[in-house]
A and B are shown apart, each in its own frame.
Chain A
Amino acid sequence: MRQLRSFVRKEFLHVLRDRKTLLILFGMPVVQILIFGFALSNEVKNTRIAIIDQANDAFSQQLTQRIDASRYFDVTSVLDRAPWADGLLRHADNRVVLIIPANIESELHHGRTAQLQAIVDASDPNRSSTVTAYLSQAVATAQLDLLAGAQQPARIDVTTRFVYNPQLHGAPNFVPGVMSLVLMLVCVMMTSIAIVREKELGTMEVLLVSPMNPFMVIISKVIPYFLLSLVNIASILLLSVVVLDLPIVGSVPLLYGLSMLFIITCLALGMLVSTIAATQAAAMLVSLMGMLLPTLLFSGFMFPIENMPLPMQLFSNLVPARWYYEIVKGVMIKGLGFDGVIKETLILLLMTTVFTAISVRRFKERLG
């Protein structure tokens, strides 16, 4: 235990005496939070939509078919009534719930304006406004076709209600993204570099010829980065609450707890990289190309996963940040409880176990 403590102390000294590392560690989250204020947006395809069809007549069924046929939407379920529309957004992964009122056909026949209601998940503001526009358009097109022969001029209106982020702030989208990026960078890149540095400088050779279990060497390397990452999460959350006016809707301890899990996932990945790379440069390259790039592209943070071709969508399942991104969005913005993010949590747990197992197997107690 005394050995471990002395080791961790030494690792802290390494980090604190290296200005470049320090700058990356603590400067990066701040810079990213500020830069990503201008997040990118994209066309949105195959948005999952649930329809609550209270009318269930010929007209409403045709309307449903129209929406489903559009390449922008994917009707996941059609229900005749929904006591709890919120549940469809929370648990069934839908982004929109469209409610067709019972009296739609008669209203239209009498030349009155029918009111559809759309409830949109606005945690990603760009996407939600795009989705809303598409939905109105799809309804308008359907209205033209379906009501072409009608004698009386009738109209369908869509009233939209945004949930989770009613003001359409940009921040909810990128704060979870920045969190996964920063943790990925700090934990995977920094840890792997720190471990590989010992190999490269030859100190690993001395450490090996000591009574200390070499795996303890790795563990003690990991602890400082674990603690520093916790500080990072706190600073990002603080920045987003204070500077970006983004409240944390869900439970903070839950968010922190699951973030710890993701940190451990990343640290395990960092250990894995360190068993592959022989030099610090190689460790950095592997971390950047192999970890950071997929995080950027496949976590759903910059480009909606729904838009990607199927093989890429499948690939995105392998990216740990994708699941963490979902967790942070769920807890921080939608205010989900643990039951809302169980699937993501289990996936991260599984990934952590696999990465740790592989790195323990690959770890060598000898050189060469």
Chain B
Amino acid sequence: MVSVRGISKRYGAVQAVADVHFDVARGELFGLIGPDGAGKTSLLRIITTVLLADDGAASVDGHDVVRDYRTIRSMVGYMPGRFSLYQDLSVQENLDFFATLFGTTVEENYDLIRDIYVQLEPFKQRRAGNLSGGMKQKLALCCALIHSPTLLVLDEPTTGVDPVSRKEFWAMLRRFKEQGITTIVSTPYMDEARLCDRIALMQHGRIMQTATPDEIVAGFTTALFAARSANMYALHLDLLAHRNVESCYTFGEYLHVTLIDSSQGAVQTLSDNLLQRHPEFELISMEPTVEDCFIRMTNGVS
């Protein structure tokens, strides 16, 4: 459905996207995962034809993003990172406007947006600017979907949205998949990576790995531990100073630790050493997450 071959984009001295390759299959829910400034937005803009790449080629459903941009523009539903609807128009007016823009009506594709629309309906006379963050995103999604696009491109749709709305949002994306819509979604939240069929991990304009979340996690071959103590800051310093610690970083309320020697004896020695200074020291074995893999990759440890 989408094919990206060696795309590069530079803004002055900043290389925003560097030689990126990936493919998205029809009906796939594809995630671009990476922190702010990784080049996700630039890449999505190139795919949606609003930005020209310096180098490389990309196509959507066989249409070249430079040559056939008009064709692509009529088949893509795009939701940019910023809330980009008309704040001074009501929910209903925004929907009607975007439906007409794509030469359709709200009624015609009502099935597609029904689930979201029923949540918006009580507020349909309200100005879009007065909606909550989650509601705004739902409205923007409705507007991007209103013309029944074959490809849906969402740029950080859940940034700045509360956890409950985020969850609902992803549930909706799963439902679009069932309806056969191909979706590319970017997000800085690593926990959302699990919800995608396949993901590309991006950092500094490059894709470090493209695979299913399971494959990515399976690539984490070292044993992973979570450590905790009363004084987390001191524990962090002590762990970094320990000769058997390969890496140690904050992860939620734990410190995630990988060891040079993960044998049972070595782990026991580490625990003993740390218990002397941290009586509440606790070390448990962990299943790695996508975020652990990402951190491991960006640190250059392999």
Contact = CB atoms under 8 A, between A and B. Distances in A.
A209 B86 contact: no
Given A10-B86, A211-B73, A368-B51, 19 more contacts: A2-B100, A7-B100, A7-B101, A201-B84, A202-B81, A202-B82, A203-B84, A203-B86, A205-B80, A205-B84, A206-B85, A208-B50, A208-B73, A209-B73, A210-B74, A210-B101, A211-B102, A366-B49, A366-B50
Nearest to A18: B88
B97 A6 contact: yes
A83 B209 CA distance: 93
A212 B101 contact: yes
A207 B78 CA distance: 10
Contact of A202 (B51, B73, B84): B84
B78 A206 contact: yes
B277 interface: no
8 contacts: A7-B97, A17-B88, A203-B84, A203-B85, A206-B84, A209-B78, A210-B101, A366-B50
A82 B301 CA distance: 100
Given A2-B100, A6-B97, A13-B93, A209 B51 contact: no
Interface string B97-110: 11011110000000
Interface centre among A13, A205, A208 (most CB of B within 10 A): A205
Interface in A173-208: 201-203, 205-208
Nearest first, the 9 A-B pairs at minimum CB distance are: A6-B100, A211-B74, A202-B84, A209-B78, A202-B82, A17-B88, A205-B80, A203-B84, A209-B48
Interface of A: 2-3, 6-7, 10, 13-14, 17-18, 201-203, 205-212, 365-368
A365 B50 CA distance: 7
Contact of B102 (A7, A10, A210, A367): A210
B124 to A, nearest CB: 15
Nearest to B48: A209
A10 B89 contact: yes
B77 to A, nearest CB: 8
A209 B101 CA distance: 10
Interface in B180-237: none
A275 B223 CA distance: 57
Contacts of B282: none
A6 B106 CA distance: 14
B270 interface: no
B52 interface: yes
A298 to B, nearest CB: 36
A205 B48 CA distance: 10
Given A3-B100, A3-B103, A207-B101, A10 B93 contact: yes
Interface in B30-73: 45, 48-52, 69-70, 73
B291 interface: no
Contacts of B86: 10, 14, 203
